[in-house]
Chains A and B, each alone.
Chain A
């Protein structure tokens, strides 16, 4: 396994897969990961750590930021033994395995193992997420109404 150079790993693409891994359902991610075979050798640069992130909103949706409340987040950083590639993860919730798997996937996506991770992990996760979002959007669309204002009175 070899690491791809910095330029070869597109930041936009990396943002996308890290976000997908962060939002993934932990049990679905674990099942897909197990199906991909043995976990590659790695060191934990940062063992999975559970913490909080303060979520901000904006007054009036567009104005000055304010602190809305916190959410739980678990983070992890790994280095692959074979090539030294570093992977990071910040994932929603408190599942340590979720964070470690996401960090490993982030590292592998920067190596020539990327197509295998894309097929076995990212594509199925993206498909599940798209299907879930589409399902909610379609149920919402079925509740779209047209209100009619009625003219009342004699004249």
Chain B
């Protein structure tokens, strides 16, 4: 049991004042602006939006500045802020087939219609520190080429046409929402995908890696990875029609997984799906692998006891704000609890000592 404590107000205020000073760092250096964080630490901003589960680059950048670059602390700030916002409604499902792709690659088809577009990627860099970046005043200029018009079709669509991949039939079911109802098991795929989309990147990365190393191996290929802008449309009751309310950048990963068939399903490729706010490629691939591992039941596979198959284990430990809240609370004053523990240990020891004297 946690018993509240009082006092320490002045020490707390002083600690926070010092925190503000440390956050500012050397005052002879220019103060970092929120716009600079948004533009130049964009992938950190994207992670905070994804796991904070709120798409707003300016807010995420502010949170990163306030949290001194501690991304989980920044995500905590965003999660707290979003609870203060009234919910206007839900969008129509975004149409990722209509994405304006910055990047679009397939690891399964070399000559994929629409082409392989690398986009602004770290892939094929040599991971050598670039000391030129330590100098100021460099304005890089990306080359351009004539752009083909029109959206790029999904790779899984080609396999679908041959009937070689498990289909994803469209429905209009209203999905469950874990921000409104507590996450309870069994969780259907829609609820799992919501939890995974806001889950901790590191946790999902570790789980996804475990499936590749053999814990519920499901032989994933990246059928397609695409990053780009999609429109967000919402039905507006007072208008009686839908309008675009904005445009967001998302990363989508579709895996194509080997599947030799089960008692209920024929041999065919199966799919894992990752969809994450922002340019968040590692998270999106990890999400797709974990999504696929969690689908063992609906595909008639065996539960082999792997962590990535265990929905309770994955979903109840993937949220870094829940995790850090519970983990970090143990550093706060627990004096009363500890006093009772101390009493118990003393009592047990007295009992043993008295018993030892009795046998002498």
Contact = CB atoms under 8 A, between A and B. Distances in A.
Interface of A: 11, 15, 18-19, 22-23, 49-73, 75, 77, 88, 90-94, 133-149
A82 B13 CA distance: 54
Interface stretch (B86-94, B315-323, B332-340): B86-94
Given A51-B86, A90-B245, A91-B246, 9 more contacts: A15-B242, A50-B85, A56-B94, A57-B94, A68-B197, A70-B53, A70-B82, A94-B58, A141-B147
B18 to A, nearest CB: 30
Interface of B: 49-50, 53-56, 58-59, 82, 85-94, 96-97, 100-103, 110, 115-121, 142-148, 154, 156, 168-179, 189-191, 193-194, 197-198, 229, 231-232, 234, 236, 238-239, 241-248, 250, 252, 254, 271, 273, 275, 277
A72 B90 contact: no
Q: Give 5 closest A-B pairs by Cβ, nearest first.
A: A92-B246, A19-B244, A60-B168, A63-B168, A137-B147
Contacts of A65: 93, 171-175, 190
B156 A60 contact: yes
B169 A63 contact: yes
A117 to B, nearest CB: 17
Given A67-B190, A70-B82, A53 B245 contact: yes
Contact of A52 (B85, B92, B250): B85
A56 B234 CA distance: 10
A59 B88 contact: no
Contact of A69 (B54, B115, B143, B146): B54
Contacts of B247: 23, 92
B59 A59 contact: no
A86 B150 CA distance: 35
Contacts of A135: 144
Contacts of A147: 110, 116
Nearest to B197: A68
A69 B198 contact: yes
Contacts of B229: 133, 136
Given A61-B156, A65-B174, A56 B93 contact: yes
Contacts of B94: 55-58, 68
Contact of A64 (B54, B110, B171): B171
Contacts of B245: 19, 22, 53, 71, 73, 90-92
Interface-centre pick from A64, A92, A136, A140 (highest chain B CB count, 10 A) = A140
Contacts of B250: 57, 68
Given A59-B190, A68-B194, A23 B143 contact: no
A97 B247 CA distance: 19
A54 B175 CA distance: 11
Contact of B232 (A71, A141, A142): A71
A54 B90 contact: yes
Main secondary structure, interface of B, reads mixed
Contacts of A59: 168, 189-190, 193, 273
Contacts of B168: 58-64
A70 B170 contact: no
Contacts of A92: 232, 245-247
A53 B56 CA distance: 12
A55 B250 CA distance: 11
Nearest to B99: A61
B89 A54 contact: yes
Contacts of A137: 100, 147
A36 B171 CA distance: 46
B146 A64 contact: no
Nearest to B102: A140
19 contacts: A15-B243, A22-B244, A52-B88, A53-B89, A53-B232, A55-B248, A60-B254, A63-B169, A64-B173, A64-B189, A69-B54, A71-B248, A72-B55, A77-B238, A133-B229, A140-B101, A140-B102, A143-B118, A145-B116
A70 B55 contact: yes
Given A22-B243, A71-B232, A141 B117 contact: yes
Contacts of B193: 57, 59, 66
A91 B250 CA distance: 19
